[in-house]
Structure 1
Amino acid sequence: MIKASIIKEFRLIFSDLHSLAVLFLMPISFMLIMTFALSNKAEDLTKSINLNITQQDSNLAESLLKAYLSDVGFSQDINQQADVTLELASGFENALFADQANSVITFSHATSLSPQMTSLAKQHLQIALAKVKLHIYLLDAGQLSDSMPLAEQMSRVSEQTNQLKLVSFKREENYQAVQHSIPSWLVFGVFFIVLPISITLISESQNGTLLRVTTFPISNTAYFSAKLLAFYLVSFTQALVLMIIGFTVIPKLVDAPSLNVLQLVPALPLLAVTCATAVTFGAVIASQIKSHEQAIVIGGGTNILLAAISGLMVPLDIMPKAMQTIAQLSPMHWAQSGLKNLFISDSDVLSLTTALPLIIFSVICGVLALWLFELKVRKLQWK
């Protein structure tokens, strides 16, 4: 009977194209879009910022500032509306070397420029000013010659200020984007199993299947457990497909190194626990939903809200401290942070402290879901 119940659930799930789209197409699309969004390098971002520099008087320092900002990609098209405007005060060059620092640049930006892009522009302005001061100092000290082409002078100054040559990076920037983005959207997709579970329970309530089951030689607990087992197998298959695509196909699209499929093996235990958490949590919500509209609003809405506060949509390390604290209470955060740690640290051992909260949460949700399902069937019998 339990085997027949599992086969029935598989037929229902794979006959519903909407459910399959929610479980597979939507998470793959999210992974692709968000990985592309995070894969941009700083120099690519500066090219989108149009810079306008106004000055009271023309001098070497002002020319050098323009040149160094152009060198890192800032556009300076006077025919376009400026994203960032730098107004240089009179005596700008002399003020750069004054004993007491005073404001000699007024920085303003368009309201349409995001806080992140504004911060990026400020950082590059600070670096450019440091290069300008060093450039003028080297000219005065005779270490640079006025007869040298400006490009060669700038190259020598940049070489002296580039301290990254002293640092070796273990991973490429695009590789880091893949490691952070893929686990987040994989977990987000897995938790959408709540919608197929909800739709199945609603259909069985409306067509009388749940009432007929009470006449079968199987308990409500066994029937519901078989149903959840079927959804668990679907969820685990979904997670495997998403992980393989995420770590082998998507990196090729963003020019990042691909992982060997065998490197995904250490993540399988955590993936199994994550799927159990998603299915039992989804079952708790599904057992209380009474219509397809509620399934979309409550089931889908809960997932989106959890993703928002768990650091899936916005990186946790740029959130305010209060939201970082709230995120620690979310099962989505436990799952995605565990997967990230496995790949970022190159660890091949699943930490018990990572899996234990998910296991405890799954057990609590599983017991609660069974109890709520029993109540649901009793209410149907009373009607």
Structure 2
Amino acid sequence: MSVVKEFLLLKRDLGGLIILFIMPLVLVITVTLIQDSTFKTISDTKIPILLVDNDKGSVSKTVFDNLEKSNLFSVVTQIDNKAITEEVAKEAVYKGKFQLAIVIPKNLSVDLQAKIDQNVAKIVSSMGLTDSTATAAPSEIIKEKEVKLYFDPAVQMSFKNAVMNAIDKMISQIETKSIYTTFQNQLGEGTASFEQKSFITFKEIIPRINNKEIRPNSVQHNVPAWTLFAIFFIVIPLSINIVKEKSQGTFVRLLTNPVSNLIVIIGKTITYSAICMIQFYMMVAVAIFLFPHIGLPPLNIEGHLFLMSVVALFSGFAAIGFGILLGTVASTQEQSAPFGATSVLILAAVGGVWVPVFAMPKIMQIIAKSSPMNWGLEAFYDVLLRNVSLLEIIPKISLLFLFFIITTSIALFYDKKKRTV
């Protein structure tokens, strides 16, 4: 009957039901679409950037050609049919009209070739391959050149690093090609042939299951993360219902029944565990059946559904324990609702739902290990991405269940202590 009572309370609270079921679905669809479209923007849609060419030489032409050939950028060299100056480019970027401006300095091609000629001449001379009777001309001092990059202040650091690495690699390839060409000219009128292809390359080794490559995508990361967020969001309606029972006198009437408070807690646990599992299966169903129709990859749960259900169940236990504790301690709905929402957001932020734990400062990485959301998220990742067995996720789901036991025990002790006083 305690379970029936909880279901009746939820049935009469339409707004609470919307929060519990509809909002998580909207959240996971929206966030996954945004992140997936972000990846597509980086790879498929070209970003317009400004190029200020003060060099007018071979290097600037190579930079322009390479940027045009890339899948990342479309190069803009004129604004209103006028050549762009450094000041115009700087102002346009700092006002947010463009994300990036590249300024190539004057005489870059000429000075680069002159510097390479000097260095090659020194090497060839030290090897005794030049005329010993010729008097060496004094070397002209050639100053280093700077390719300036102006970024929109709102651009993320990861974008800046990616662009700077790409341009640095491009310039290095240009220098290397020039060095090889100069050596070739010095050593025999073009008879020597140098292979300019990179000798060292990188290859990603992708894990395989049943001879199939397992490539993680935005769906595999977002569905577990936002499912956990939705599960923990039951803290709000659960704590509010407990506060309502206290303020309306329902809880006092329950205590007059010949049952302990533990029975009431078990009733709430069973009811909200069922709610959590319904949330979980709704999220999974949306990820499998709806995502392919809106341009997202479907969630592959082949062989994982049982273990994912286990993780969802124990994550629900942890959320229920936290909600019971909050509802027991809070005196009014004005206390429980804002605190519940804020605490869930903090647990999500600390637990790695929004920002990966490895990207956090060291102190935050340590704090993240204390978040029940982090335990649940890592357990989901272990099952879905790392293909582990039940035995390997027992430590994490044990922590979730221990969190439930501790919070529920504190709530029972606090309630008993308060009533005896």
> Quick check: TM above 0.5?
yes
Offset, 1:313: 0.9
Is this contact kept in 2: 1:195–1:300, CA < 8 A?
yes
Tell me which residue corresponds to 1:273.
314
Tell me which residue corresponds to 1:151.
none
| Amino acid in the other structure paired with 2:359 | I
How far apart, CA to CA, are the structure 1 residues paired with 2:143 and 2:292? 47
Secondary structure in 2 matching 1:50: strand
How far apart, CA to CA, are the structure 2 residues paired with 1:67 and 1:220? 75
Offset, 1:203: 2.0
| Amino acid in the other structure paired with 1:74 | F
Tell me which residue corresponds to 1:76.
75
Offset, 1:237: 2.3
Offset, 1:118: 1.8
Tell me which residue corresponds to 2:85.
none
Q: How does 1:194-273 map to 2 (within 5 A)?
A: 194-250=235-291, 253-260=294-301, 262-273=303-314
Tell me which residue corresponds to 1:126.
168
How far apart, CA to CA, are the structure 2 residues paired with 1:74 and 1:59? 21
How far apart, CA to CA, are the structure 2 residues paired with 1:212 and 1:40? 54
Secondary structure in 1 matching 2:52: strand
Tell me which residue corresponds to 1:44.
41
Q: Which moved more, 1:78-87 or 1:200-209?
A: 78-87
Decide which of 116, 121, 125 is 2:158's aligned counterpart.
Answer: 116
In 2 relative to 1, CA 181–64 (structure 1 residues): closer, same or farther, beyond 3 Å? same
Offset, 1:356: 2.3
Is this contact kept in 2: 1:251–1:258, CA < 8 A?
no
Q: Which moved more, 1:282-291 or 1:336-345?
A: 282-291
Q: Deviations over 1:174-210 (max 9, x none)?
A: x422222211111111001111111211221222111
Tell me which residue corresponds to 1:152.
none
Q: Which moved more, 1:210-219 or 1:189-198?
A: 210-219
Q: Does the alignment pair 1:25 with 2:22?
A: yes
Q: How does 1:34-113 map to 2 (within 5 A)?
A: 34-40=31-37, 44-45=41-42, 47=45, 49-72=47-70, 73-77=72-76, 78-79=78-79, 81-93=97-109, 94-95=111-112, 98=116, 102-113=144-155
In 2 relative to 1, CA 323–374 (structure 1 residues): closer, same or farther, beyond 3 Å? same
Offset, 1:172: 7.0
Tell me which residue corresponds to 1:16.
13
Is this contact kept in 1: 2:49–2:99, CA < 8 A?
yes
Secondary structure in 1 matching 2:329: coil
How far apart, CA to CA, are the structure 2 residues paired with 1:373 and 1:228? 17
Q: Deviations over 1:262-317 (max 9, x none)?
A: 53122222222111111111111121222332232100000001111111111222
Is this contact kept in 1: 2:236–2:336, CA < 8 A?
yes
Q: Does the alignment pair 1:367 with 2:384?
A: no
How far apart, CA to CA, are the structure 2 residues paired with 1:290 and 1:126? 60
Q: Does the alignment pair 1:7 with 2:49?
A: no
**Gapped regions of structure 1 (runs ≥ 5):** 143-156
| Amino acid in the other structure paired with 2:49 | L
Tell me which residue corresponds to 2:87.
none
Secondary structure in 1 matching 2:257: coil
Is this contact kept in 2: 1:87–1:107, CA < 8 A?
yes
Offset, 1:43: 6.8
| Amino acid in the other structure paired with 1:76 | V
How far apart, CA to CA, are the structure 2 residues paired with 1:346 and 1:368? 36
How far apart, CA to CA, are the structure 1 residues paired with 2:400 and 2:143? 54
Tell me which residue corresponds to 2:345.
304
How far apart, CA to CA, are the structure 1 residues paired with 2:334 and 2:199? 60
In 2 relative to 1, CA 306–256 (structure 1 residues): closer, same or farther, beyond 3 Å? same
How far apart, CA to CA, are the structure 1 residues paired with 2:179 and 2:296? 41
How far apart, CA to CA, are the structure 2 residues paired with 1:21 and 1:44? 33
In 2 relative to 1, CA 230–57 (structure 1 residues): closer, same or farther, beyond 3 Å? closer
| Amino acid in the other structure paired with 1:343 | L
| Amino acid in the other structure paired with 2:73 | F
Decide which of 312, 315, 326 is 2:367's aligned counterpart.
Answer: 326
How far apart, CA to CA, are the structure 2 residues paired with 1:162 and 1:293? 62
Q: Deviations over 1:327-369 (max 9, x none)?
A: 1111110111110111111224342222222222221112112
Is this contact kept in 1: 2:99–2:155, CA < 8 A?
yes
Is this contact kept in 1: 2:236–2:337, CA < 8 A?
yes
Is this contact kept in 1: 2:59–2:108, CA < 8 A?
yes
- TM-score (norm. length: structure 1): 0.83
Q: Which moved more, 1:69-78 or 1:273-282?
A: 69-78
In 2 relative to 1, CA 15–261 (structure 1 residues): closer, same or farther, beyond 3 Å? farther
Give the superposed CA RMSD.
3.1
Tell me which residue corresponds to 2:191.
none
How far apart, CA to CA, are the structure 1 residues paired with 2:361 and 2:292? 30
Q: Deviations over 1:75-120 (max 9, x none)?
A: 2234373321222222322437746994421122121222222222
Tell me which residue corresponds to 1:294.
335
- TM-score (norm. length: structure 2): 0.76
Is this contact kept in 1: 2:47–2:73, CA < 8 A?
yes
In 2 relative to 1, CA 270–172 (structure 1 residues): closer, same or farther, beyond 3 Å? closer
Secondary structure in 2 matching 1:290: coil
